[in-house]
């Protein structure tokens, strides 16, 4: 890590405190909203899996497989296999939370079917960003230990790739939710009150990406401040 003394560690924690508080608030909010709407059953009896299939087909994404997956909040869409994987609390449940989360993942499938620009950009940069993520902290750490400015700035540049990826992710996530809500509304599968709940669940989930971006921005600002103090 970029701090290698107790003083440096405390300095890092103090600097990052605002970001950590933001993330904590977002996580508490998400847990509360998900819990609340997990106990609200949709009047149509739609399950998470059925919601995903509905949104995917109406969104122009055909040949999509919807399968169960272990864990919680592990739901995802894999564009390489055209598979929507839904966690146990989502796959066959008929709650507002389950329907909303499943519809969101199907929204991603619709994005790829339409060749939505930000989604394509995120896919194209994911490998580069992963490399940047792995290299950034070791470069910064070695640069500070060895007092080599070039390594510190190289690490910061690598970490910037992570920030860029998270920034691109935001419109992708919000757009997937918007597509999901629009299709669910047009299908008449949910009441207005249930749609309101879906929006709350998806907005709370999307804010986790905002929290991750805020944390990364604070980190990169911290690294820059350390580099300037050398």
How is the chain split into domains, by residue range?
A: 6-229
Mapped onto helix, strand or coil, the DSSP state of residue 93 is coil
Q: How many CB atoms within 10 Å of residue 53? A: 20
Backbone angles phi and psi of 61, in degrees to 5: -100, 105
Compute φ and ψ for 85, nearest 5 degrees. Answer: -100, 125
Distance CA 7, CA 93 (A): 49
Residue 40 parent element (H or E):
none
pLDDT digits (tens, 9 = 90+) for 41-66: 999 999 999 999 999 999 999 999 99
Q: How confident is the model at residue 149 (pLDDT cuts 50, 70, 90)?
A: confident
173 included as an active-site residue:
no
Cα-trace Rg, the chain = 20
Is the model's pLDDT at 133 over the cut of 70? yes
Structure tokens at 51: 């919601």
Q: Determine the Cα angle at 17 with ends 11 and 22, to 5°.
A: 160
Residue 116: CA atoms inside 13 Å, Cβ hemisphere, count?
Answer: 23
* Residue 87: DSSP 8-state: E
pLDDT, tens only, 195-209: 999 999 999 999 999
Alpha helix positions (H), 75-230: 88-91, 96-114, 117-146, 149-187, 192-229
Instruction: Check whether 1 has a pLDDT greater than 60.
Output: no
What's the pLDDT tens digit per position in 98-111?
999 999 999 999 99
Q: Exactly one of 50, 80, 105, 194 is catalytic; which is it?
A: 105
């Amino acid at each position: 890590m970029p701090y290698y003394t107790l003083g440096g560690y405390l300095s890092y924690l103090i600097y990052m405190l605002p970001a950590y508080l933001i993330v904590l608030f977002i996580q508490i909010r998400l847990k509360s909203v998900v819990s609340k709407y997990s106990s609200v059953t949709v009047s149509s009896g739609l399950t998470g899996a059925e919601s995903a299939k509905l949104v995917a087909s109406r969104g122009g994404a055909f040949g999509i497989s919807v399968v169960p997956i272990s864990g919680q909040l592990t739901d995802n869409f894999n564009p390489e296999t055209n598979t929507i994987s839904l966690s146990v609390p989502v796959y066959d449940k008929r709650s507002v939370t389950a329907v909303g989360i499943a519809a969101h993942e199907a929204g991603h499938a619709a994005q790829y079917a339409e060749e939505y620009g930000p989604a394509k950009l995120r896919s194209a940069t994911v490998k580069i960003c992963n490399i940047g993520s792995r290299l950034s902290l070791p470069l910064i750490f070695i640069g500070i230990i060895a007092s080599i400015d070039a390594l510190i700035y190289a690490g910061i540049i690598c970490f910037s790739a992570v920030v860029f990826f998270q920034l691109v992710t935001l419109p992708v996530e919000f757009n997937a939710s918007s597509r999901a809500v629009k299709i669910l509304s047009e299908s008449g599968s949910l009441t207005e009150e249930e749609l309101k709940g879906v929006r709350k669940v998806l907005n709370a989930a999307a804010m986790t990406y905002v929290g991750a971006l805020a944390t990364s921005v604070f980190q990169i600002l911290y690294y820059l401040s350390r580099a300037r103090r050398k």
